[in-house]
Structure 1
Amino acid sequence: MESVNIVLRKWQKSDEDSLVKYADNSAVARFLKDSFPKPYTYTDAVHWIYFANRNIDSYNLAITLKDVVIGAIGVESQKDVYRKSAELGYWLGEEYWNKGIMTNVVKEMVELAFQNIPIVRLCILRE
């Protein structure tokens, strides 16, 4: 099963090509926030990697298979009266859908979120 070989890790500068390969897909973008670029370009990938590794209000990781990025997962802290809450978001390259990968990835990210972010609540917004 492919999900056994999945690793979550920090974003690297060398991830741009595989990020564009899987993110530039209307089926992937369909259920994501409007801020997700459509089309997804190399420049978008460069900006994302910079943002993901430097943003203090979120915890963003690459989903990799054999050290190739196939998706992304992140937790974004909320503000003001919601400061003890965070939002979980993720996407996966279409060819990896329906293989049980995200079930394991989300479980791992939930554990990491509560270990690394001072929150008491984690939610996934459904559109």
Structure 2
Amino acid sequence: MTINCSSFAIRSWQESDALPLAHHANDKDIWLNLRDRFPYPYTLRDAQEWIQFVTRLQPETNFALAVNGQAVGGIGIILGGRYRALLG
């Protein structure tokens, strides 16, 4: 799945996204603004495990934010709970 926007794309995660994800996610300022379950420091292994996990989910609920084809972050939908879905 890919949604092209003017300066970025929302697309499915790919195994090749692990290295850029680890690079961009390993930032303390980013970590301070995320849920407690997000690890810091964020390693290549964390990125590989995350991508393996989310690419198996059905329906697909987690997507890469890509700039110039490179994953720089992510967006996901948490289904269920008090609300029908939570986008974050």
Larger radius of gyration: 1
1:86 is matched with: 85
Q: Report which structure shows greater RCO (CA 8 Å, sep ≥6).
A: 2
Do residues 46 (structure 1) and 45 (structure 2) align?
A: no
Deviation at 1:58, TM superposition (A): 6.0
Structure 2 residues not aligned, in runs of 5+:
none
1:27 is matched with: 29
Percent identity over paired residues:
33
1:88 to 1:27, Cα distance in 2 relative to 1, 3 A: same
- Map residues 1-127 of structure 1 onto 2, 5 A cutoff: 4-56=6-58, 59-79=61-81, 82=82, 85-89=84-88
Q: May I ask how many residue pairs the two structures share in their alignment? A: 84
Aligned-pair RMSD on alpha carbons? Answer: 1.7
> Secondary structure at 1:74's aligned position in 2?
strand
The separation in 2 between residues aligned to 1:86 and 1:55, in whole angstroms, is 15
Structure 1 residues not aligned, in runs of 5+:
90-127
TM-score under structure 1 length normalisation: 0.61
Misfit runs of 4+, over 2 Å: 55-58
The separation in 1 between residues aligned to 2:36 and 2:45, in whole angstroms, is 17
> Secondary structure at 2:78's aligned position in 1?
strand
Amino acid at match of 2:42: Y
